[in-house]
Amino acid sequence: MAPITFLEAIRQAMFEEMAADPSVVLIGEDVGVYGGAFKTSEGLLEKFGWERVIDTPISESAIIGAACGMSYLGLRPIAEMQFIDFIACCFNQLTNFVAKGHYLWNAPAPIVVRGPSGGGVHGGPFHSANPEMYFLHTPGFKIVYPSTPYDAKGLLKASIRDNNPVLFFEHKFLYRRIKEEIPAGDYTVPLGKAIVRREGKHLTILSYAAMMHTSLEAADALAKEGIEAEVIDLRTLLPLDEETILNSVKKTNKCLVVHEDTKTGGIAGEISAILFEKAFHDLDGPLVRVASLDTPVPYAPTLEEAFLPNAQKVFTAAKALAKF
């Protein structure tokens, strides 16, 4: 098989799930005729028709509400946010209605809300968000944020088949910039499992999505200086794979978290708390965070570059931690 892009992996996952299961439908803005703003759903309308590929008005709350209502009759809707930033428009519908349904009245909503997220592409303050932490604080969701085409496809399929509402973030910087050979046919990647992308013994770098690649780049540079970093791709933020994190920290005794989300209230804080609770005696250094600035995502390339973490920043922080 020829290598495919991250974007194509998303498209294939939706295509295959819809072909296999008529209860899977896609609903969102411009997902039909146009095939989605990034063409992730191109060709789905031609194949599955108007009833299954539903173009909506610009109404994010209605998209989520309708997807949820559809799921109550046994369907498995995929709801697309044209840009994940717009998920803020349906915050109430998601956090108060969808997420609480199973706990309160035994009504799971097996929907997937997916959309392009992240910066580094000069999208400006309203098209570059990493809003995962707003939802991590809401019991009831699963939160997935893949970094490779293989994972994107396998995790999206697993998300569609999951019986809980899943928020699926697709880092748009990765859409066409990475390619990977993936196996033909059906496979899934389980939710809630992190993966060790690179083994090392001097420190653990935890990351996900685009920053996973940044972390690997930094790890290469660190290796040249004799520092072997273990790079872990979290893949699913909720539920978080604590076991893989704790096992690695037990080995390396140092932990650096890299995320593109802004620093305050980012997942690094939560991981830090987990390590203090469960790995206090394993730690030989402070938990270090490399994250975006606590500002909106600025537009100008020079500003956005300053805003985002990069391999150099990770390298510097990791080196200092290794020497601690």
Between residue 39 and residue 78, which ones bind other proteins under the rule CB under 8 A?
Answer: 39, 42-43, 45-52, 54, 56-57, 59-75, 77
Contact set for other proteins, span 97-156 (CB under 8 A): 97, 100-108, 110, 116, 120-123, 127-128, 139-140, 142, 147-151, 154
Contact set for other proteins, span 234-293 (CB under 8 A): none
Exactly one of 13, 28, 29, 35 binds other proteins (CB under 8 A); that residue is: 35
Inter-residue long-range contacts of 266-272, CB under 8 Å, 24+ positions, other chains counted: 266/133, 266/291, 267/132, 267/133, 267/136, 267/234, 267/237, 267/240, 268/206, 270/136, 270/240, 271/206, 271/240, 271/245
**Smallest distance from the beta carbon of 33 to other proteins, in angstroms?**
5
* CA dist., res. 54 & res. 31, Å (int): 7
Judged by beta carbon, residue 66 or residue 279, the one nearer other proteins is 66
Terminal Cα distance for the chain, rounded: 46
**Smallest distance from the beta carbon of 317 to other proteins, in angstroms?**
17
Judged by beta carbon, residue 210 or residue 287, the one nearer other proteins is 210
User: Residue 86, interface with other proteins (CB under 8 A)?
Assistant: no
User: Residue 301, interface with other proteins (CB under 8 A)?
Assistant: yes
Judged by beta carbon, residue 12 or residue 253, the one nearer other proteins is 12
DSSP 124-161: -TTS---THHHHHTSTT-EEE---SHHHHHHHHHHHHH
Count of positions on this chain that bind other proteins (CB under 8 A): 111
**Smallest distance from the beta carbon of 152 to other proteins, in angstroms?**
11
Exactly one of 29, 80, 132, 162 binds other proteins (CB under 8 A); that residue is: 162
Contact set for other proteins, span 190-229 (CB under 8 A): 190, 195, 197-198, 210, 213-214, 216-217
* CA dist., res. 76 & res. 158, Å (int): 12
Judged by beta carbon, residue 113 or residue 279, the one nearer other proteins is 113
Judged by beta carbon, residue 33 or residue 320, the one nearer other proteins is 33
Is 127 a catalytic site residue?
yes
Active-site residue, from 102, 122, 127, 202: 127
Q: Are 66 and 27 in contact (CB under 8 A)?
A: yes
User: Under 8 Å CB-to-CB from 312, ≥6 apart: which residues?
Assistant: 218
Closest CA to 133 of 243, 212, 287, 237: 237
Burial of 193 (0-12, 13-18, 19+ CB in 10 A): middle
**Smallest distance from the beta carbon of 143 to other proteins, in angstroms?**
12
Backbone angles phi and psi of 2, in degrees to 5: -70, 150
Tell me which residues are annotated as active site: 127
